[in-house]
A and B are shown apart, each in its own frame.
Chain A
Amino acid sequence: MDSEQDRNKSAVVAMFEECWNKGNLGFAEEVLVGDFLDHPPRRLTAVPDRGRGALIDLVKAFRAGFSDFHVEMVHVAAERDLVYCLVRATGTHDGTFFGTPATGRRIDITGIHEFRVRNGRLAERWGLFNMMGLMQQIGAGPAGPGGAAHD
């Protein structure tokens, strides 16, 4: 029999598979609770929507920039009502991504996301893809903390 944590992990895996990999945004209505709360990184706090729409818009932005955007679970850990997942994301920059026109370059980055799950549905998200690595891979990134830009 699956534990509550196993079911919570399955919900997170299903969300990535349906929404991020297949672009099935209707699934977001199903897997996210009605009062879903997104905690975007600080630079995105200007985004007014913190609800389901925030996550849906993020998926749309990534899939617009990378039509084959694909998220693969590397490691998932759950305890209490929380799920952490380490992911690897790949894709081809064949569309405009946050203002940067298509370059045709491939990206391969990691990300870590945390979810709070309520009754089998995702209630809160915190998380980041390696955006600096991504921007550097498409040639639009700033220098890293060591000082020099790198690929």
Chain B
Amino acid sequence: MTDSPSKAVYRRFVEEVINGGAVDVIPELFHPDYLDHSAPPGAGTGLTVYEQVAQIPKMFRGAFPDVHFTIESMVEEGDWIGTRVTGRGQHIGNTFMGVPPTGRRVVWTSFGMFRIKDGKIAEHYGQPDLLGLREQITQPPAPGSLDEIRAIVAKYVYATNTANFDAFDEFVVEDYVDHDPVPGQQPGREGLKNAYRAFLSAFPDIWFTFEDLIAQGDLVVGRGVIQGTHKGEFMGVPPSGKVLHWTGTRMFRVRDGKVAEGWINFDVMGLLQQMGVVPTPPAPDGPVAPSSKGLRGAPSTPAANEALMRRFIDEVWNKGNLDLADEVFHPAATSPSAPALPPGGAGVKVIASMFRSAFPDYWMTIDYLVADDEKVAARFSQGGTHRGDLFGIPPTGKTVKFTEMGILRVADGKVVESWYDVDMAGLMQQLGVGG
């Protein structure tokens, strides 16, 4: 069903601004005379329309980085539309309504009445269920629950973002074990604090935005987008003054209410490229598929999602049964980690055949797996003998082994979105290239 022009404007606001964070489209959707009767408490006065509207996604996405609104109902009469949406998100960003991040997954309803003028939103009344939302994030997690271990990791992330490393004593064990220490990282909790301090001295404004926390058993996986201004020496590279963005996926084991072990894969190559130390590969040409972030569907079960991941790795990556990718992936699925790949199974085939032809004896194992009803994450080991061209690197004959973290988001039984952090720096070092 096609929306009327007024409903289409509202839908763009939800999908592009709230769900996508695309604040640059605000002037296309909001009238210069826009009047908000329900501005968030604490909102400044004398702001431009753009600044007023931009506060909404900033507030929600800041606290709930994966926030997603689903339009449940829309009514239009004359120049007014009424709307009801369901908001969903995980509280792993900023403090919200005075509550520091809890890791809690929340669901809330919000109503709106909008007046449309000249095809743009000119007036707004909003009624989000803020009390209901607040009740969900202030409810203490049940002891031994997944909410509890997600809450511990959310506290950990918040402490790193606020550089409150002393707080680690409360939720990290003293003999903490890091399975992927950064070069020079000392053992234990003190070594971990100092590793973060080293990042902080290189990037004084560093901020880890965790877009999800997936928990099962005693493991929690979190995937983050990290941003910082390169103002101090990092890995021997002098400060470039540039604002750098990179991704990382973290896994923790929580024992007796404290983080006891950690694993990480982060995009060291991307960092070195942005610092200008390693050449940046040319940007791929051709169209980029639209993001599949909005693809939603029925959740699955942790067991079904685990089975899906195991089948995908075994068949596609280990056995080379590439056509199975078309069955496992939704045709419009994209990966924010590789946005230039074609969508769906086609993109998976490109990358799998590239690695499998570079390493004819290619193998991949799932070392850890963490599944919930919407996502499945895994830590992989993989390797092989380099006998074919890889990213333009001619065969070296070297045998390599490197790690990776991957996350699949599942809806209606199909993978609709996926993320990967691969130890490319480790791979390149073993091949004797760069690093």
B125 contacts A132, C-beta separation under 8 Å? no
Nearest CB in chain B: distance from A39 CB, A = 8
- Interface residue? B163 (CB, 8 A): no
CB-defined contacts of A112 to chain B, threshold 8 Å: 82, 111-113, 125-127
Contact code string A87-115 (vs B, CB < 8 Å = 1, else 0): 00000000000000000000000111110
Nearest CB in chain B: distance from A144 CB, A = 3
- Interface residue? A77 (CB, 8 A): yes
Contacting B at CB under 8 A, from A26-75, are 41-43, 74-75
A42 contacts B136, C-beta separation under 8 Å? yes
- Interface residue? A84 (CB, 8 A): yes
Nearest CB in chain A: distance from B343 CB, A = 35
CB-defined contacts of B113 to chain A, threshold 8 Å: 75, 77, 84, 86, 112
CB-defined contacts of B129 to chain A, threshold 8 Å: 41-43, 128, 131
B97 contacts A41, C-beta separation under 8 Å? no
CB-defined contacts of B127 to chain A, threshold 8 Å: 110-112, 128-130
A146 contacts B43, C-beta separation under 8 Å? yes
Nearest CB in chain B: distance from A90 CB, A = 16
A84 contacts B109, C-beta separation under 8 Å? no
A79 contacts B130, C-beta separation under 8 Å? no
Q: How many residues of B contact A (CB 8 A)?
A: 37
Nearest CB in chain B: distance from A61 CB, A = 15
Given A5-B77, A77-B75, check contact A144 B108 (CB 8 Å): no
Contacting A at CB under 8 A, from B266-294, are none
A43 contacts B131, C-beta separation under 8 Å? yes
Nearest CB in chain A: distance from B18 CB, A = 14
Given A114-B111, A126-B111, A142-B134, check contact A147 B98 (CB 8 Å): yes
Find the B residue at minimum CB distance from A45. B132
CB-defined contacts of A146 to chain B, threshold 8 Å: 40-43, 59
Residue of B82, B84, B97, B136 touching A142 (CB-CB under 8 A) = B97
- Interface residue? B107 (CB, 8 A): yes
Find the B residue at minimum CB distance from A126. B84
CB-defined contacts of A83 to chain B, threshold 8 Å: 75
Residue of A111, A131, A147 touching B42 (CB-CB under 8 A) = A147
B41 contacts A42, C-beta separation under 8 Å? no
- Interface residue? B81 (CB, 8 A): yes
B42 contacts A145, C-beta separation under 8 Å? yes
A144 contacts B97, C-beta separation under 8 Å? yes
B76 contacts A79, C-beta separation under 8 Å? yes
CB-defined contacts of B111 to chain A, threshold 8 Å: 84, 112-114, 126-128
- Interface residue? B196 (CB, 8 A): no
- Interface residue? A13 (CB, 8 A): no
CB-defined contacts of B43 to chain A, threshold 8 Å: 146
B73 contacts A77, C-beta separation under 8 Å? no
CB-defined contacts of B136 to chain A, threshold 8 Å: 42
CB-defined contacts of A25 to chain B, threshold 8 Å: none
- Interface residue? A22 (CB, 8 A): no
Q: How far is the CA of A79 from the CA of B77 in the complex (A)?
A: 6
- Interface residue? A118 (CB, 8 A): no
Nearest CB in chain B: distance from A151 CB, A = 10
- Interface residue? B263 (CB, 8 A): no
CB-defined contacts of A5 to chain B, threshold 8 Å: 77
- Interface residue? B96 (CB, 8 A): yes
Q: How far is the CA of A127 from the CA of B73 in the complex (A)?
A: 12
CB-defined contacts of B42 to chain A, threshold 8 Å: 144-148, 150
Q: List 17 A-B contacts (CB under 8 A).
A: A41-B132, A42-B129, A77-B113, A78-B77, A79-B75, A82-B75, A84-B75, A112-B112, A112-B126, A113-B111, A128-B129, A131-B129, A132-B134, A144-B41, A144-B97, A146-B59, A150-B42
Query: Contact residues of A with B, CB < 8 Å?
Result: 5, 41-43, 74-75, 77-80, 82-84, 86, 110-114, 126-132, 135, 142-148, 150
Q: A42-B135, A84-B113, A126-B111 are in contact. List 11 more A-B contacts (CB 8 A).
A: A41-B129, A77-B77, A86-B82, A112-B82, A112-B112, A112-B126, A127-B111, A131-B131, A145-B96, A146-B59, A150-B42
Query: Contact residues of B with A, CB < 8 Å?
Result: 37-38, 40-43, 59, 63, 73, 75-78, 80-82, 84, 95-98, 107-109, 111-113, 125-127, 129-132, 134-136
Q: Which 3 A-B pairs have the closest CB atoms?
A: A146-B42, A84-B82, A144-B41
